[in-house]
Chains A and B, each alone.
Chain A
Amino acid sequence: MALLEINDLHVFYGNIEALKGISLAAEPGQIVAILGGNGAGKTTTLRTISGLLRPRTGSITYRGKSLIGIQAHLIVGLGLSHVPEGRRIFSILTVEENLNLGGYLIRSDRKLVGERKASIYTLFPRLAERRTQLAGTLSGGEQQMLAIGRALMSGPKVLMLDEPSLGLSPILARSVLKTVREIANRGTAVLLVEQNARQALAIADRAYVIEVGRVVLEGEAAILAGDERVQKAYLGGFEAVGAG
């Protein structure tokens, strides 16, 4: 059984079915890319796994246990950390305070909080330089680093990233994704939602292509990158445009 396994997930917004039976799996050390256009259901999938949304049917199993019905703040404690779309850092708090909140569940262990912060400052030296600065004054790239660093504070086994390269310059996007690869190499399973299919497939191990709430393609990232349909829909023109 995989570390994280999702089976036939159906999620509704009111009467609208956003996910129509999504299944996917992730293993430690793997980057699993979730590709697809706007409205395909990528964000909804992540929000359902992290407990912000409730599925109507289907299962989410983590280390053999069901996550369905567990509140979002408790799911973090089980080892699943979610970097939401748009980064959602706490703009009125300092960089350091943002990281402290990432370690909210381990707050009584000051030593561990300190160690994790130190390792995040090593991973993102820019954050160390700006630790007393208000997060709202950071550049887009720095905010993304902070959002990822904050999610790492809880020491996750599964890291979910929603569009980490959005709004970043190509160079910065590449460097963020390179860091994501490093994080996975340390043994974390990464679910990577990306519009930038080319770069995502370049660092991913496996990938799923979602269209209007369904998985339409899945397989090894390298093979999908060569797939005609993927090339046409997501790797084609100047800007990757989705079909969803």
Chain B
Amino acid sequence: MSLGWSHKHRIAEAKGGKKGMGEFLQYTVIGLTVGSFYALVALGYTIVYGIIRLINFAQGDLSMVGAFLGWTLLVSFGLDRLPLYLALIIAFVVPMLGTAVVNLGILQFAYKPLLKRSLLAILITALGMSLLLQNTAELIWGPRIEAYPPNLLPSTGFFMGPVHVTYVQIALAFVSLLLMGAMVLFIQGTTVGTAMRALAVDHDAARLMGINVDGVIRLAFVLGAMLAAASGVMLGLYYVQIQFTLGFLLGLRAFTAAVIGGIGNIPGAMAGGMLIGLLESYTTGYLSGKWKDVIVFGVLITVLIVKPTGLFGERVAERM
């Protein structure tokens, strides 16, 4: 997988002889950047799970679709000839919309007929959808590793004490935080967002409030896909290299993040994403890139055994 190499490379680059605190902070900056991508995908997992109790395993692959749509626009449609800010807006917005349509299609044709059946059936279908997206992407874009335009974004940065921070890192983390903030405002602050949270409790009661439950489920799929696509484009911009398989491990790591945060818990998913990013960055830096998935999934298993509701997953008990 391309991500591993590139990531390690960046850390090696960052090391540059710094030791101790500086090194630690450097890994922290990288961890938070990557963590914010995971957080976006994890948020998608958690929003969909909150509403229909489904782990949409295609979530990571939606990221990959977003990454390739963005790549196609930037490379084949010559967006790089536009002013940079305009090119970037298009390279984010169009893949986000396109991926939302893909996810709506998955919901309509694969999940909806199964919604009233067993959860296991729909879970296995979700795994199938993940494979379907990978194979379709391989058919469309081919099995090769593709590269985002390398000189699109400046590779420069600045030193904050001993820590080197690139403008790209800041910009990407900023966009992630912006998207997450918008999502939290929407879910916590609007009546439609409140309805999304209500669906976590009771679909029939929600219908009796006049809430179009199917509509809210569709909205959750749209939002989940848009977050995934945005993270995909960001991965492309950050790591440069993309491949049709990139969604698989990304999805698993983001899933781990969502579980750590307590699946269904929105702030938890974001914190979980950051945590996974940090964990991965420290492991790569202090041990070796080969260990990072061992550690990440070790944490997943530990959380599932010790605290299956996640670190922030406490729910208020219902009193009858």
Closest 7 CB pairs of A and B: A76-B210, A88-B205, A72-B207, A105-B210, A107-B191, A136-B316, A91-B318
Contact of A136 among B195, B211, B317 (CB under 8 A): B317
Does B8 lie at the interface of the complex (its beta carbon under 8 Å from any beta carbon of A)? no
Q: How many Å from the CB of B254 to the closest CB on chain A?
A: 23
Does B301 lie at the interface of the complex (its beta carbon under 8 Å from any beta carbon of A)? no
Q: How many Å from the CB of B196 to the closest CB on chain A?
A: 11
* Known A76-B210, A105-B210, A107-B191; 5 more pairs at CB < 8 Å: A86-B320, A90-B198, A93-B197, A101-B209, A139-B319
User: Are A90 and B202 neighbours in the complex by a CB distance under 8 Å?
Assistant: yes
* Chain A residues, Cβ within 8 Å of B212: 71, 73
Contact of A154 among B192, B210, B315, B319 (CB under 8 A): B210
User: Are B198 and A101 neighbours in the complex by a CB distance under 8 Å?
Assistant: yes
State whether A84 and B208 are in contact (beta carbons under 8 Å apart), knowing that A92-B197, A92-B200, A101-B191 are contacts in the complex: yes
User: Are A72 and B208 neighbours in the complex by a CB distance under 8 Å?
Assistant: yes
Sampled A-B contacts (9; CB under 8 Å): A50-B208, A51-B207, A72-B208, A88-B202, A91-B201, A93-B201, A97-B197, A138-B319, A151-B208
Q: State A227–B198 Cα separation when bound (angstroms).
A: 44
Does A165 lie at the interface of the complex (its beta carbon under 8 Å from any beta carbon of B)? no
Does B213 lie at the interface of the complex (its beta carbon under 8 Å from any beta carbon of A)? yes
User: Are B208 and A76 neighbours in the complex by a CB distance under 8 Å?
Assistant: yes
Does B206 lie at the interface of the complex (its beta carbon under 8 Å from any beta carbon of A)? yes
Which B residues from 175 to 215 make CB contacts under 8 A with A?
A: 191-192, 194-195, 197-198, 200-202, 204-213
Which B residues from 20 to 72 make CB contacts under 8 A with A?
A: none
- Name A residues whose Cβ lies closer than 8 Å to a Cβ of B: 50-52, 71-74, 76-77, 81-82, 84, 86, 88-93, 97, 100-105, 107, 134, 136-140, 143, 150-151, 154, 167
Q: State A103–B195 Cα separation when bound (angstroms).
A: 11
Q: State A143–B319 Cα separation when bound (angstroms).
A: 9
* Chain A residues, Cβ within 8 Å of B317: 136
- With an 8 Å Cβ cutoff, the count of chain B residues facing the other chain is 25
* Chain B residues, Cβ within 8 Å of A167: 320
Q: State A52–B202 Cα separation when bound (angstroms).
A: 13
User: Are B197 and A52 neighbours in the complex by a CB distance under 8 Å?
Assistant: no
Q: How many Å from the CB of A50 to the closest CB on chain B?
A: 6
User: Are A73 and B195 neighbours in the complex by a CB distance under 8 Å?
Assistant: no
Contact of B210 among A86, A90, A104, A139 (CB under 8 A): A104
Q: State A89–B209 Cα separation when bound (angstroms).
A: 11
Q: How many Å from the CB of B206 to the closest CB on chain A?
A: 7
* Chain A residues, Cβ within 8 Å of B205: 84, 88-90
Q: How many Å from the CB of A72 to the closest CB on chain B?
A: 4
Q: How many Å from the CB of B213 to the closest CB on chain A?
A: 7
Q: How many Å from the CB of A62 to the closest CB on chain B?
A: 15
User: Are A91 and B204 neighbours in the complex by a CB distance under 8 Å?
Assistant: no
Q: How many Å from the CB of B242 to the closest CB on chain A?
A: 38
Q: Which of A50, A86, A97 has the most C-beta atoms of chain B within 10 angstroms of its own C-beta?
A: A97
* Chain B residues, Cβ within 8 Å of A137: 316, 319
* Chain A residues, Cβ within 8 Å of B213: 73
Which B residues from 200 to 239 make CB contacts under 8 A with A?
A: 200-202, 204-213
* Chain B residues, Cβ within 8 Å of A102: 209
Q: State A100–B193 Cα separation when bound (angstroms).
A: 11
Give B307-320 as 1s and 0s: 1 = Cβ < 8 Å from A's Cβ atoms.
00000000111111
User: Are A150 and B320 neighbours in the complex by a CB distance under 8 Å?
Assistant: no
* Chain A residues, Cβ within 8 Å of B319: 91, 136-140, 143
User: Are B318 and A136 neighbours in the complex by a CB distance under 8 Å?
Assistant: yes
* Chain B residues, Cβ within 8 Å of A101: 191, 194-195, 198, 206, 209, 211
Q: How many Å from the CB of A192 to the closest CB on chain B?
A: 17
Q: State A107–B195 Cα separation when bound (angstroms).
A: 11
Q: State A184–B195 Cα separation when bound (angstroms).
A: 28
Q: State A52–B315 Cα separation when bound (angstroms).
A: 28
> Which B-chain residue is minimally distant from A160 (CB atoms)?
B208
* Chain B residues, Cβ within 8 Å of A92: 197, 200-201, 315-316
> Which B-chain residue is minimally distant from A89 (CB atoms)?
B205
Q: State A167–B319 Cα separation when bound (angstroms).
A: 12
* Chain B residues, Cβ within 8 Å of A140: 319-320
Q: State A105–B215 Cα separation when bound (angstroms).
A: 14
Contact of B191 among A72, A91, A104 (CB under 8 A): A104
Q: How many Å from the CB of B167 to the closest CB on chain A?
A: 40
User: Are A82 and B210 neighbours in the complex by a CB distance under 8 Å?
Assistant: no
Q: State A86–B210 Cα separation when bound (angstroms).
A: 19
* Chain B residues, Cβ within 8 Å of A89: 205
